[in-house]
Amino acid sequence: MGLVNPDFTDRVNRPEGFNAAACMNCGVCSAVCPMGIDLLPRKLFRYVLLGFEDKVLANSETIYSCLLCRMCEANCPAEVNIAENVRTLRNYINKNVFNI
Amino acid sequence: MSDRRIGVYICHCGGNISDYVDVEAVREAAGKEAGVVVAKTAMFTCSDATQQEIMEDIRENSLDGLVVASCSPKLHLYTFRDVAKRAGLNPYRYTQVNVREQCSWAHTDDKEGATGKAVRLVRAGIARTLLTDSLEPVIIDTVPRALVVGAGIAGLRAAVGLSDIGISVYLVEKEKSVGGRVAGLGSMYPHGRDGNKLISQLVSEIGKRENIVAYTGAEVVEKSGSVGNFNVRVRVGAYKPQFVDLNVGSIIVATGFDTFQPGAGEYGYGTGRVVTLDEFRDLLDSSGGRPVYNGKEIKSVAYIYCVGSRRDSGVEKAKVYCSRYCCNAAVHASLLAMEKNPRIHQYHLYRDMRTYGRYELLYDQALEAGSTFLRFGEEDPPAISGGPGGRLRVSVKDLLTFGEEVEMEVDLVVLVTPMVPRQNGALVDVLKLPLGKDGFFNEIHPKLRPVETVVDGAFICGACQGPKNSSESVASALAAVTQAASLLKKGYVELEPLMAVVDRDICRWCGECGKACPYGAISKEEYQGAEIAVVSEAICKGCGGCGPACPKNAIDLKGYTDAQVKAMIDALVAEWGHTSLI
């Protein structure tokens, strides 16, 4: 159960340029991920779109384990800037959790 | 022995038939039948060379009957009737026997059986042909005027179209003003132009045309006559009604649709903060700045799709079909809302997103603009309850987030409801137009005859035929214009003479045939001091329903007389020694 929190979505979205709106949940990203990260990126992106801050933060480990290799991005049919979105999320966590 | 001279042609269909039917054996059997003068096979009977050969045979052998055993009459009946006609043989002395669909294609596992069946079918065809008479098409003069029922965007456009072709139009609208649903709409997809402006433009076009007469507050109450020449009575005004009698050659029905009204309490409808998409559009169209509901700015909206549509037939009031316009309309409404308030949060709870064709661009725009889409299964519809601060709490199992329960608090819930058939039973009764199982008017053929109805001369267009957006409605309106005009500009219609005929000496009017006729083609008349039945040639479709109803056996069907049908049955069973089975 999660309560949609548009404020979180806005905080991540607007200043930092997170954009996964075009994602259509096809799953190519998960299939090609060399780390086999199943949360990344589509499930995680849904959490951001719906504003599930706690679920995003609970998966900080996973967010930092991404290699930023862009294999997913190269294969994304919807041209989502996946790696950039992961960076944006790391920025958010750096600022809001680790205060750096 | 018969003194008839019949030619029989058995087609190979390039192997389609001859791979499974021994066409030479069929030819040999046909040649032995009484009255058969020519019996041949051909690789492709429909080819120009064979058509020429048949024509030569008809002329050289003075043939007075023709049988082609090939494919279905739907494909080539008119082809070979035309061959007969060009060779000077009356086309109604032709019989088509279908040995492809009924023999070779149906019995690929049994060549012998397929051949035997083909022989019997050909014998039956010959038997029918032995009893054919020359018939002439029935010619009906047409009146160069048309009636358009319904003055929404489809009816208005149809009226302008007919007028431009030079056909006078009577436009009948039930409401007090013309314009229909579109007149009440602001910005419409995909061009962003206002519905009310489109209607004003059409109305001004109609004003410029002297050959269009419009009646508002008017309804069609009676119709008689038939294709090319209908007499229609229109009631104008409700309190002191006046009646106008119109004589028209064709009728275009463009009576539009109704919108589904959710039941009280369905998704909280009627309890405040829950509106239909129509109501939401009115709200958007009437708000200059940020949209407001009950005095408070709308900061968040949840749209619930497929409310009342795409449900099991068991669900009360709900429709089984997809209304197809609503995904586009809801996504477009969310873009309008975003324009008026860029900070609005919008959630689309859908079952399947069907923004088909170029309207996919609307969906892309909505995604880009920040709308969030969530998907639910038919069995797990969203639930609505009261939330904090008078807002509504919507919860849904979101299939896009892997089935997680998601809750959102919103200011307004918009129910995306389908188009439903308009309840205009009186008009259905007057025009005798058939309804499909969804309750919309039914066309004859969805692909090839999409605006024609079983009532010759009556056409349907727009959303009275099924859910359509306005551009699709106008496209079908113009299709109806073309069909109506092609009928009326010719000045006459030719009808198949395969119709019921009453033996005036036997008939003593009892009315049974009239009750059996689904087209109202049979009426009573005086003949030599007695009352007898008479069949209107303009209305009769030759269905044969009246024949068996007659207690005196006074009705026969031209082209398929009782004698012909009996002869065919005898021929079919001849090799078993049965004769005169009936």
- Assess contact for B542 and B499: CB atoms under 8 A: yes
Domain assignments of chain B as residue spans, ordered by start: 6-135, 145-256+422-493, 262-417, 500-558
Q: pLDDT tens digits for B128-170?
A: 999 999 999 999 899 999 999 999 999 999 999 999 999 999 9
Distance CA B408, CA A5 (A): 8
Query: Computed from CA positions of residues B470, B473, B474, B475, in that sequence, does the dihedral angle turn out positive or negative?
Result: positive
Distance CA B67, CA B45 (A): 11
- Assess contact for B227 and B493: CB atoms under 8 A: yes
> What pLDDT was estimated at residue A38?
67
Q: pLDDT tens digits for B291-346?
A: 999 999 999 999 999 999 998 877 777 899 999 999 999 999 999 999 999 999 99
What are the angstrom distances between the C-alpha of B498 and each of A56, B123, B259, B375? 76, 22, 43, 56
Any long-range contacts for B468-472 (C-beta under 8 Å, 24+ apart)? Answer: B468/B324, B468/B325, B469/B325, B469/B328, B469/B329, B470/B153, B470/B182, B470/B188, B470/B195, B470/B198
Domain assignments of chain A as residue spans, ordered by start: 7-13+26-96
Q: Do domains B6-135 and B145-256+422-493 have the same CATH topology?
A: no
pLDDT of B581 above 70: no
- Cβ atoms within 10 Å of B339's Cβ, excluding its own: 13
Distance CA B274, CA B258 (A): 20
Are B398 and A21 an interchain contact pair (Cβ–Cβ within 8 Å)? no
Per-residue pLDDT, averaged over B11-33, amounts to 97
DSSP, collapsed to helix, strand or coil, labels residue B123 as helix
> What pLDDT was estimated at residue B26?
97
> What pLDDT was estimated at residue B178?
97
Whether B199 has its CB under 8 Å from any CB of chain A: the answer is no
Residues paired with residue B41 on neighbouring β-strands, in sequence order: B10
> What pLDDT was estimated at residue A5?
86
Distance CA B372, CA B351 (A): 14
Query: Computed from CA positions of residues A85, A91, A94, A95, in that sequence, does the dihedral angle turn out positive or negative?
Result: negative
Question: What H or E segment, with its residue span, contains residue B140?
Answer: strand B138-141
Are B300 and A50 an interchain contact pair (Cβ–Cβ within 8 Å)? no
User: Maximum CA pair distance of chain A?
Assistant: 35
> What pLDDT was estimated at residue B577?
56
Q: pLDDT tens digits for B37-86?
A: 999 999 999 999 999 999 999 999 999 999 999 999 989 999 999 999 99
Are B406 and A47 an interchain contact pair (Cβ–Cβ within 8 Å)? no
Distance of alpha carbon B148 from the chain centroid: 17
The percent of residues in chain B predicted with pLDDT above 90, rounded, is: 86
> What pLDDT was estimated at residue A14?
57
Per-residue pLDDT, averaged over A67-72, amounts to 91
- Assess contact for B270 and B264: CB atoms under 8 A: yes
What are the angstrom distances between the C-alpha of B397 and each of A20, A75, B60, B400, B405? 21, 29, 80, 9, 4
- Residue B528 backbone class (left: φ over 0; alpha: ψ -120 to 50; beta: rest): left
pLDDT of B2 above 80: no
Q: Which residues of B touch A46 (CB under 8 A)?
A: 398, 400-402
Please give the CATH number for the structural domain made up of B500-558: 3.30.70.20
Are A43 and B402 an interchain contact pair (Cβ–Cβ within 8 Å)? yes
> What pLDDT was estimated at residue B582?
43
Which of the four CATH numbers 3.40.50, 1.10.3470, 2.60.40, 3.30.420 does domain B6-135 have? Answer: 3.40.50
The percent of residues in chain B predicted with pLDDT above 70, rounded, is: 99
Q: Is 3.50.50.60 the CATH number for B145-256+422-493? A: yes
Nearest CA in chain B to A21: B367
Please give the CATH number for the structural domain made up of B262-417: 3.50.50.60
From the list B502, B481, B505, the residue with the least C-alpha distance to B549 is B502
Chain mean pLDDT for chain B = 94
Q: Which residues of A touch B406 (CB under 8 A)?
A: 1-4, 50
Q: Which residues of B touch A77 (CB under 8 A)?
A: none
Q: Rounded to a whole number, what is the distance in Å from the CA of B412 to chain A's nearest CA? A: 15
> What pLDDT was estimated at residue A25?
79
> What pLDDT was estimated at residue B579?
47
